[in-house]
Chains A and B, each alone.
Chain A
Amino acid sequence: MDGEELTQQETELYDRQIRVWGVDAQRRLSKANVLVCGMTGTVAEFCKNIVLAGVGSVTLVDDGVVTEEALSANFLIPPDESVYKGRTLAELCCDSLKEFNSMVRVSVEKGDISSFRVDFFSKFDVVVISSCSLATKKLINEKCRRLLRRVAFYIVDCRDSCGEIFVDLQSYKYTKKKVDEAVEFELKYPSFEEAITTPWRKLPRKTAKLYFAMRVIEKFEEAEGRNPAETSLLDLPGVLKKRKELCEAESLNESQIPDSLLERLVVGTQEFPPVCAVIGGILGQEVIKVISGKGDPLKNFFFFDAFDGKGIIEDISNPDAAS
């Protein structure tokens, strides 16, 4: 492979998708390196999608071991103790992903992502994290932002029948064909910290309720020193108190964050496989768009709730912040 032309093997394997996004995009995909942290069911779906699509490499980070919960929505882990014993989630997923497409390099990086140095992230074009604490989300996002080369950064989480995606592309330029001419577009993205510190009263009235609810849960988990998704029904009073506190500080009517929604998120900490498929699919599509430079990327949050079936894009950025 000379890196310029697709091989016959690639052309044959990727025939149907090349008909969607073209040869150039396929070529760019095959050179992209993706880092993934937190092997949840949603991330497993995402990995499957980009490995099938034919990215250059995927590096997995998750030293966790197999639990009932890890098995519940992740089809990359064989539920056979003799296979998974003594191995990490990243290693197990790596083995399964390799089988999907021999042209993609899949590997494992051991360690705690929050301790990885800035230059570690420079090897990647895309970084996706899941199941991380609020502090870790901010930290990794900042590290990616300190690099000279732009790294596309994503956070993805699913709870109960809900899913959330956050996107930070920093400054993203792309061209689109408009009638005859190619028009250049530029999008400016806030960091995760900038986005979530946008005063709530400045957000449109119809902003997805899920956005606020996820922030309440996030703050609650941080204040209580919990790991992500380490909540139960017993925490509901505490979560409702956190909501009151935040809503008062942000001058938002508490009814914007319904009890029933918070209850679902507190209780249903496990992923719901159909939602993993939907969120993992949307995230896969976004990453493919950004690598290939084709199509309008999502800015900057995506929400899906199987309850009402809507998949909504929200632009959460402070209109007053200089960008």
Chain B
Amino acid sequence: MASPPQLSAIKDARVLMVGAGGIGCELLKTLALSGFRDIHIIDMDTIEVSNLNRQFLFRQKHVGQSKAKVARDAVLRFRPNISITPYHANVKDPDFNVDFFKQFNVVLNGLDNLDARRHVNRLCLAADVPLVESGTTGFLGQVTIHLKGKTECYECQPKPAPKSYPVCTITSTPSKFVHCIVWAKDLLFAKLFGDKAQDNDLNVRSGNASTSDHTDDVFERRTDEDIEEYGRRIYDHVFGYNIEVALSNEETWKNRNRPRPIYSKDVLPERPINQNGNMDGASATDNPSSVSAMASLGMKNPQEIWSLMENSKIFLEALKLFFGKRDKEIGNLSFDKDDQLAVEFVTSAANIRASSFGIPLHSLFESKGMAGNIVHAVATTNAIIAGLIVIEAIKVLQKDAKNYRMTYCLEHPSKKMLLMPVEPYEPNKSCYVCSETPLTLEINTHQSTLRDFVDKIVKAKLGMNLPLIMHGSALLYEVGDDLEEDMVANYAANLEKVMSELPSPVTSGTLLTVEDLQQELTCNINVKHRDEFDEEKEPDGMVLSGWTQAPAVEKKDENHVGNGVGTSKNMPTNAEQVEMNEDLEIVPADVEIPAEKKRKLSEISNNDGLGTSRGAAETNSHSKVEELDDDDDVVFICDGDSDTIKRKKLH
């Protein structure tokens, strides 16, 4: 039971919860039980079957409904007299502006992606509302607390970037299964079923990228072409012909194993599926979402690793089902981990490609995890973290600043502790979000367009939602609903211009101001012209400094962070990808870590996939974390490299 002063603080509080998922369900329940009476909850998602093992407020019959609304109704059943206001909406909607945030005493995050976390952080800073942030992966979790000017903001420490792979690794020289998955999902699947207008690197082969144009229509189904023939033609083209072409470039294979071209006739007898396949399986239902190549071939076990022949059958069958049962969607499909047929197609395509390159094959279950960037999740960790969030929220409401803590939930004890509280850190003085530190941008002002700058810097790096770009008093670009038509046309034209040819030219020495009115965030950027960029190391063709991003390097450690699968070029990292955790290919379904390896904070946070807070940052700034055993309290000594950010404890 809460103490009387706690109770009065709780009773009068208005709290905002962002996210009604794994942590959110637990959090809403614990808030209601603890006596909170005015809770607002935002979640844009609807309920899916795979949520039901831990999001205990939802039932099978709720699948497809709004999480925020169903969660509200479920909690009102055991606490009927409290007020819960649900919003089935994206927290980034303009309605949720600074004034909206100002009405709350505290904001509690139970989010699953970096993008939304950053957005909420900025609104909390602008509205000066305390934020309690959280994240879990498997048995690991953490709760952190952010108060403007008093503690670090969520973005004071760089966040691990979603992992990306060099384009040529994906298109020509895969060495891991995940490379094959990315190829199957982002290139082949997108090419066959997605938006045809999108750029696609499918035909880029090392050395002769420029000659790929003529092959484009290979992927079009010809008029009256038999679907079986079409499938085999695609098969032979991508797994056979394309590999042959790649092999012709001897340079590439000097230090690599040569791939083996695979043609359908070598794997499958002529026209096997029509005769042997169970035709009824496919037509058992007309509901397009339940069409399955596995079902139609009588295969059941998603844990099984299929042979090359089985993968080939699934590939052709899935293609056939897409064209036969879901033809209306072709042209605007994007990969969705909950789309069974899409997962089947991608699994089989990745496995066939893996066979070509001598990479071990994987089951549908494993492939789905990689392709969908699925977060490991169990109910218990979410429940624990939700309890810790409420404990911290109550301290915030009581303004009990000296007892604020960030808490880590560990898998293996450290100093006998499974739940480890740590004092929050002071704000980072060079944080561009909560301090007004200017940034520097190196860019080729004669080649890069304003669009490049908006996409690669303003949106991707600065995480702005509704940006406005100014050069002195000249407006170069803005986003909004209420713009005049001629301005919209004007901005659209500006987007395509190179920086130095804008109406108000951006050259070396220019100071740009980028603002997000919704987030109330302003960044000043000093522009420096540079001619050359390293394609592999600086794929954006521009470098922002002062803005610190954790290195997205592939670590040798088994505990991976930030596995946003996707190649950087033409594959914008979407928010979903950032929620990633351990690299599924390296840490198998079982996240057990040898116990003799004592885990220190740096490792712990390293394992915290959500990048929810410290992630790789901890590894940088605490490259040597020491624990001082001075009686009871744990103290972390920051002994990083001299150029990393030193963090001070609050007290």
A residues near B (Cβ < 8 Å) are: 5, 8, 11-23, 41, 45, 48-49, 52-54, 72-73, 75-80, 99-101, 160-161, 176-179, 206, 268-278, 280-282, 284-285, 288, 294-296, 298, 302, 304, 306, 308-314
**B80 located at the interface, meaning its Cβ lies under 8 Å from any Cβ of chain A in the complex:** yes
> How far in angstroms is the closest Cβ of chain A from B572?
26
Among B34, B50, B390, contact of A16 (Cβ-Cβ < 8 Å): B50
Q: A15-B50, A73-B33 given; name 4 further pairs at CB < 8 Å.
A: A75-B29, A278-B383, A280-B383, A311-B409
**B206 located at the interface, meaning its Cβ lies under 8 Å from any Cβ of chain A in the complex:** no
Whether B419 pairs with A310 at a CB distance below 8 angstroms is yes
A77→B78 CA distance, assembly (Å): 7
Whether A16 pairs with B419 at a CB distance below 8 angstroms is no
> How far in angstroms is the closest Cβ of chain B from A266?
13
A100→B504 CA distance, assembly (Å): 62
Closest to A52 in B: B379
Q: Enumerate chain B residues within 8 angstroms of A48, measured Cβ to Cβ.
A: 56, 379, 383
Whether A274 pairs with B30 at a CB distance below 8 angstroms is yes
Interface residues of B in 134-152 (CB under 8 A from A): 138-139
A265→B52 CA distance, assembly (Å): 36
**B650 located at the interface, meaning its Cβ lies under 8 Å from any Cβ of chain A in the complex:** no
Q: Which of A19, A80, A272 has the most B CB atoms < 10 Å from its CB?
A: A19
27 pairs, A vs B, C-beta closer than 8 Å? A8-B300, A11-B302, A15-B365, A16-B374, A16-B376, A19-B376, A19-B589, A20-B377, A48-B56, A72-B1, A73-B33, A75-B32, A76-B78, A78-B77, A79-B79, A176-B592, A176-B594, A177-B594, A268-B3, A269-B1, A272-B1, A274-B386, A277-B384, A304-B419, A309-B391, A311-B418, A313-B417
A16 with B592, Cβ < 8 A, contacts A49-B383, A274-B388, A281-B384 known: no
A53→B377 CA distance, assembly (Å): 11
Whether B416 pairs with A285 at a CB distance below 8 angstroms is no
A117→B591 CA distance, assembly (Å): 40
**B103 located at the interface, meaning its Cβ lies under 8 Å from any Cβ of chain A in the complex:** no
Among A52, A80, A288, A304, contact of B54 (Cβ-Cβ < 8 Å): A52
Interface string of B402-421 (1 = CB under 8 A from A): 00010101011100111111
Interface string of B8-44 (1 = CB under 8 A from A): 0000000000000000001001101110000000000
**B538 located at the interface, meaning its Cβ lies under 8 Å from any Cβ of chain A in the complex:** no
Q: Enumerate chain B residues within 8 angstroms of A19, measured Cβ to Cβ.
A: 369, 374, 376-377, 584, 589
Whether B595 pairs with A13 at a CB distance below 8 angstroms is no
A24→B580 CA distance, assembly (Å): 25
Q: Enumerate chain B residues within 8 angstroms of A310, measured Cβ to Cβ.
A: 417, 419-421
A312 with B54, Cβ < 8 A, contacts A177-B592, A296-B412 known: no
Q: Enumerate chain B residues within 8 angstroms of A14, measured Cβ to Cβ.
A: 53
Closest to B58 in A: A100
**B332 located at the interface, meaning its Cβ lies under 8 Å from any Cβ of chain A in the complex:** no
Q: Which of A22, A275, A278 has the most B CB atoms < 10 Å from its CB?
A: A278
**B249 located at the interface, meaning its Cβ lies under 8 Å from any Cβ of chain A in the complex:** no
**B380 located at the interface, meaning its Cβ lies under 8 Å from any Cβ of chain A in the complex:** yes
Whether B380 pairs with A312 at a CB distance below 8 angstroms is no
Q: Enumerate chain B residues within 8 angstroms of A21, measured Cβ to Cβ.
A: 378, 589-590
A313 with B49, Cβ < 8 A, contacts A20-B590, A160-B1, A285-B139 known: no
Q: Enumerate chain A residues within 8 angstroms of B301, measured Cβ to Cβ.
A: 5
Q: Enumerate chain A residues within 8 angstroms of B391, measured Cβ to Cβ.
A: 161, 274-275, 306, 309
Among A99, A268, A284, A314, contact of B416 (Cβ-Cβ < 8 Å): A314
A78 with B78, Cβ < 8 A, contacts A282-B418, A310-B417 known: yes
Whether B387 pairs with A281 at a CB distance below 8 angstroms is yes
Closest to B301 in A: A5
Among A72, A176, A288, A308, contact of B421 (Cβ-Cβ < 8 Å): A308
A272→B50 CA distance, assembly (Å): 30
Whether A277 pairs with B387 at a CB distance below 8 angstroms is yes
Whether B139 pairs with A275 at a CB distance below 8 angstroms is no
Whether B412 pairs with A272 at a CB distance below 8 angstroms is no
Q: Would you list the 6 A-B pairs with minimal beta carbon distance, nearest first?
A: A311-B419, A277-B387, A270-B1, A309-B421, A281-B384, A273-B33
Among B53, B407, B418, contact of A54 (Cβ-Cβ < 8 Å): B53
A177→B390 CA distance, assembly (Å): 36
**B632 located at the interface, meaning its Cβ lies under 8 Å from any Cβ of chain A in the complex:** yes
Q: Enumerate chain A residues within 8 angstroms of B302, measured Cβ to Cβ.
A: 8, 11
Whether B596 pairs with A20 at a CB distance below 8 angstroms is no
Whether A20 pairs with B138 at a CB distance below 8 angstroms is yes
A274 with B34, Cβ < 8 A, contacts A20-B138, A296-B412 known: yes
Interface string of B328-346 (1 = CB under 8 A from A): 0000000000000000000
> How far in angstroms is the closest Cβ of chain A from B39?
14
**B116 located at the interface, meaning its Cβ lies under 8 Å from any Cβ of chain A in the complex:** no
Closest to A71 in B: B78
Closest to B632 in A: A206
Q: Which of B2, B381, B418 has the most A CB atoms < 10 Å from its CB?
A: B418
Interface residues of B in 582-615 (CB under 8 A from A): 584, 588-592, 594-596
